[in-house]
Amino acid sequence: MEVLIREIEERDYRDVLEIWNSEIGSSFTNESFRSHHDKFKGNDNYKAFVAELENKIVGFVYIMQCTPWTVEGDYFWIQGIAVKSDMHGKGIGTKLLEHIENYGKEKGVICITLNTGFKRTDAHAFYERNGYTSGNYCYGKNI
């Protein structure tokens, strides 16, 4: 099983949107998804990569490079990562994480962070198996 990890292309949007909505549970529409992508085209601080298997998109990861006020060095914040549910357990999510970790080393980032819901215990176990640790809560407020 040869999985190719590459940057997203417009032709991938529909497949990624389907995975995003079914696996993460958002409600992006085709139009809002495309509009969102258009905002970040050409901005190297925002990247999206897809996992392709036998010419089919089976997963993705979105990252944002951030420069914090409190420490020296940039970090990646994973904005979204998902693999089609029928492809879980095949190492695709791990390959996506390894890809951004290697990309981060090239870019000189010092760490990678992400947020995940309390109830997503399978995701928590996946991140821990891949060397990620939990150290705090993340709070937010809609305004």
| Full 3-state SS string of 51-68 | EEECCEEEEEEEEEEECC
For the entire predicted model, the pTM comes to 0.90
Query: How far is it, in rounded angstroms, from Cα 73 to Cα 66?
Result: 9
What are the boundaries of each domain within the chain? 3-129
pLDDT digits (tens, 9 = 90+) for 3-26: 999 999 999 999 999 999 888 877
Can you give the C-alpha Rg of the chain in angstroms? 15
Query: How far is it, in rounded angstroms, from Cα 98 to Cα 2?
Result: 15
pLDDT in tens, the chain (143 residues): 699 999 999 999 999 999 998 888 777 788 888 888 888 888 999 999 999 999 999 999 999 999 988 888 899 999 999 999 999 999 999 999 999 999 999 999 999 988 887 788 788 888 889 888 887 777 778 88
Query: How far is it, in rounded angstroms, from Cα 123 to Cα 91?
Result: 13
- Spatial contact of 47 and 77, defined as CB atoms under 8 Å apart: no
Q: How many CB atoms lie within 10 A of CB 100?
A: 21
CATH fold of 3-129 reads Aminopeptidase (3.40.630)
Mean pLDDT of the chain: 90
